[in-house]
Amino acid sequence: MSTIVPAGIDSLDNHVDDEIVGCLSLTEPKSFFLFAGAGSGKTRSLVKALDYIRLNLAHELRLHNRRVAVITYTKAARDEIIRRTQFDPIIAVSTIHAFAWSVIEGFNHDIRDWLRHALAADIDDLRAKEARGRAGSQASIDRQADIAAKTSRLMRLDTITRFVYSPDTDNRGQDSLSHAEVLEISSDFIRTKPAMQDILKDGYPFILVDESQDTNRHIVDALFALQATHPTRIALGLLGDMMQRIYGDGKAKLGEELPPDWIKPVKKLNFRCPRRVIRLLNKIRQATDRQEQVPCSRAIEGSVRMFILPAATPNKPAVEARIRAAMASATGDEKWIEKGGSKDLILEHRMAARRLGFDELFSSLQTFNPFRTGLLDGSLPILSLFSGKILPLIDAREDKFTIARIVRTLSPLLSAKVLRTVVDEAAHLSMVHAAVAALQEKGKANNATFGDLLQEIASSGLFEIPEALYSSIGKETSKLPSEENEEDDRSARDEAIEQFLRVPFDQIRSYVEYVTHQATFDTHQGVKGLEFPRVLVIMDDTEARGFLFKYEKLFSGAGEDTTIASTRRLFYVTCSRAEQSLCLVAYTSNPEGVRNHVIRQGWFDHSEVELAV
């Protein structure tokens, strides 16, 4: 393929930003859908639109106490946009869950009525299924438990005066709303309550939705209805690419059959990927919308390789190390074999835990569902004690300044309240030093477990201990609000904690690296919006044990279905992260068949595919 770059290619998409700016009028707002493929500079266009508003419309907005709503899919994207718009208060940036809660927070009477009808309908549906089902089966037991739980919650509704919610926790209190409920309630209120529509149209003349293809479909439908009802007062701006829709609750066929007065700009340039990767991306999406991207003037040729191995391959981490060495040889890039030189994408967190050495930690806690969110983002309190307090103190070794800073900041033994009661300050400080030394010594032991470190902290009082760990150190657990499934939850929680406390403490280090995205590994879904020089994609349906994505089916040539379509989109997302070179590793029951299929599809040349390494 020719590598000649047309003159002025980098200005190919300049008209797009002008089209968007043309929609941002307070007197004649226009709604738009921006198609922006991978690496096209979607966020840059969004920030340019916001900068135009800040420069030209800020005075008018402030005068009438109005703001611009920007809805993002992740907290990282939210923070990035806030930073790039210089923390301007007229730009209200929030995740979809935070936005949804901001819509309904305080409408406690309306929320209660909604829940009353929803719970009653759910109970009726469950009872109807129970009447048709087989008594004594596990499904029947689960239905009866659901009926009891929902009935109990329905009876308690009138005792709740104020509903609460946090986008960042599991929301398990009696007065809490779940994530799904907040999305459903807010979307219903936006569609059906004129007062709610007035609040939004008067407060937000522009609502811009980033990653709109993955934004909850109920919210998107509600925003469509809001804009259609008030087309001269509000502009809805959707930015995204349906080929990058990887979550099931997004709106299908978003961008198709839009109202005729909507503006539909398209970005064609890819500023991220090398030419060889862009050709692969264009081939992958030929089976869908046939959108094609164009490389920018500075794009290198780059390289792509695919390694296909049997699903039963033993010692896969060692095989993948040899593949990195093969990539270093093929590309002449030694960074492929350096630690952290590539970003390795896996399908499921447990795959990373096995490869990074914290499998016991992960498997002990992920069995208790309320722990999962905090386990995956690093916010679980029982882990934060070890990751945020104990580990830094142990790693400080003999750094007296760092040790003093950690203890002064985090230890209750040096809190103002405690120090006011100390009679002999020198003796107290000596006791604190001894506690630090004992903890560091315990942490250095090769066989030390999380339980060992917990007992050390319990005996010294050096750090506060999360309530969930009280029973593990012989203390009486304080009473929590009564729940209909409290005893079952507490039993499952305590079992998970007991297993965790038997795990070697040294696994915390690789766990922290993983959840802070400093490790080599990340998930296929978790890197959307990110980019890396060298990307290695590991596709292993057997190890992942998932059901939403099946690379085996995608590479088999089977007929199109929803699983193949969603897997193709995920494949596109992972491939489009690469800035220089891309390596694909497929474990399969039919290596020869996969090789023939990917070559027949035109995704790869014969020289780019290897059956073993």
Distances (CA, A) of 401 to 206, 394, 410, 450, 509: 50, 13, 14, 26, 22
pLDDT tops 60 at residue 479: no
Count of Cβ atoms closer than 10 Å to residue 163 Cβ: 23
Contact 473, 501 (CB under 8 A): no
pLDDT, position 2: 43
292-298 mean pLDDT: 95
pTM: 0.83
> Mean pLDDT across the stretch 479-501?
66
Report the DSSP beta bridge partners of residue 269. Answer: 294
The answer to whether the CB of 169 falls within 8 A of the CB of 135 is: no
Q: Are 363 and 349 in contact (CB under 8 A)?
A: no
- Whether residue 42 is annotated as binding a ligand: the answer is yes
**58 annotated to bind ligand:** no
Task: Give 122-172 as a DSSP string.
Answer: HHHHHHHHHHHS-TTSHHHHHHHHHHHHHHHHHHHGGG-SS-B--TTS---
3-state secondary structure 405-456: HHHHHHCHHHCHHHHCCCCCHHHHHHHHHHHHHHHHHHHHCCCCEHHHHHHH
Q: Dihedral of the CA atoms 485, 487, 488, 489 (nearest 10)? A: 80
Q: Is 352 helix (H, G, I), strand (E, B) or coil?
A: helix
- Whether residue 481 has pLDDT greater than 50: no
Alpha-carbon span 88 to 338, nearest angstrom? 41
pLDDT at 155 over 60: yes
* Tokens coding 181: 């409920």
Backbone angles phi, psi at 28, to 5 degrees: -135, 65
Residue 6 pLDDT class (50, 70, 90 cuts): low
Q: Which of 252, 247, 258, 263 is nearest to 288 (CA)?
A: 252
Q: Name the helix (H) or strand (E) containing 63.
A: helix 58-63
Would you say residue 455 has pLDDT above 60?
yes
Question: Of 171, 152, 205, whose CA–CA distance to 23 is shortest?
Answer: 205
Q: Report the pLDDT value the prediction gives residue 7, as an integer from 0 to 100.
A: 52
Cα 321 from Cα 585, distance rounded (Å):
11
Structure tokens belonging to residue 22: 């043309």
Distance CA 465, CA 381 (A): 9
Structure tokens at 33: 């859908």
The tokens of 4 are what? 């000649």
CA pair distance 465, 442, nearest whole angstrom: 17
Q: How confident is the model at residue 547 (pLDDT cuts 50, 70, 90)?
A: low
The verdict on whether residue 240 carries a ligand-binding annotation is no
| Residue 479 annotated as part of some ligand binding site | no
Residue 482 pLDDT exceeds 70: no
Around 419, how many Cα atoms within 13 Å sit in the side-chain half-sphere? Answer: 10
Whose CA is closest to 209, among 190, 193, 191, 224? 224
Structure tokens at 352: 């990373």
Strand order in the sheet with 32-36: 91-95, 68-72, 206-209, 235-240, 32-36, 266-267
Amino acid at position 488, single letter: D
- Average of per-residue pLDDT across 147-174: 87
277 vs 245, more confident: 277
What single DSSP character describes residue 502? T
Q: Which amino acid is at 372?
A: R
- Counting every residue, how long is the chain? 613
Query: Helices H, strands E: what count in the chain?
Result: 27, 14
Backbone angles phi, psi at 266, to 5 degrees: -130, 130
Interval 148-176 mean pLDDT = 87
> Comparing 248 with 386, which gets the higher pLDDT?
386
* Structural contact between residues 594 and 586, judged by C-beta atoms closer than 8 angstroms: yes
Residues 515 and 439: their CA atoms lie apart, in Å, by 24
CB of 503 within 8 A of CB of 361? yes
How far, rounded to the nearest angstrom, does the alpha carbon of residue 442 sit from its chain's CA centroid? 35
Q: Would the pLDDT of 251 be above 90?
A: no
pLDDT at residue 348 in the model = 87
- Averaged pLDDT, 562-567: 91
| Residue 384, both tokens | 């934060």
The answer on pLDDT for 478 being more than 80 is no
At 489 the pLDDT is: 54
> What's the confidence (pLDDT) of residue 416?
87
* Of 148 and 5, the one with more pLDDT: 148
pLDDT, tens digit, for every residue of 493-518? 889 999 999 999 999 999 999 998 88
Whole-number Å distance between alpha carbons of 34 and 20: 8
Indicate if the pLDDT at residue 435 is higher than 50. Answer: yes
Residue with tokens 């590994």: 521
Angle at 346 between CA 337 and CA 371, to 5 degrees: 125
37 labelled as ligand-binding?
A: yes
| Whole-number pLDDT of residue 490 | 58
Query: Strand pairing partners for 345?
Result: 522, 537
Ligand-binding site membership of 404 (annotated):
no
Task: Check if the beta carbon of residue 70 is closer than 8 Å to that of residue 91.
Answer: yes
CB atoms under 10 Å from CB of 598, counted, come to 21
Please report where in the chains the tokens 């630090």 appear, as a residue. Answer: 436
Please give the Cα distance from 58 to 88 (Å, whole number).
Answer: 10
Mean residue pLDDT across the chain: 91
Q: Work out whether the CA dihedral 22, 233, 74, 392 comes out positive or negative.
A: positive
Query: What digits encode the pLDDT tens for the residues 21-80?
Result: 999 999 999 999 999 999 999 999 999 999 999 999 999 999 999 999 999 988 888 999
Interval 117-125 mean pLDDT: 95
- Alpha carbons 380 and 271: distance in angstroms, whole number: 38
Average pLDDT score over residue span 472-487:
46
Q: Which two tokens stand for residue 246?
A: 């990887």
What does 25-55 look like in DSSP terms, one character per residue?
Answer: -SSS---EEEEE-TTS-HHHHHHHHHHHHHH
Q: Is 36 annotated as a binding residue?
A: yes
Confidence tier at 476 by pLDDT (50, 70, 90): very low
Tokens describing residue 564: 């193949």
Confirm whether residue 40 is marked as ligand binding.
Answer: yes
Residue 207 has pLDDT above 70, yes or no: yes
Mean pLDDT over 380-385 rounds to 90
DSSP string, 167-220: TTS---STTB--HHHHHHHHHHHHHH-HHHHHHHHHH-SEEEETTGGGSBHHHH
Place of tokens 């935070």: 98
| pLDDT tier, 483 (very low <50, low <70, confident <90, very high otherwise) | very low
Q: What are phi and psi of 603, to 5 degrees?
A: -70, -40
Q: How confident is the model at residue 528 (pLDDT cuts 50, 70, 90)?
A: confident
Amino acid type, 557 = G
Question: Rounded mean pLDDT of 283-301?
Answer: 92
**pLDDT tens-digit profile of 325-351?**
999 999 999 999 998 899 999 998 989
- Which tokens sit at 294? 């164009």
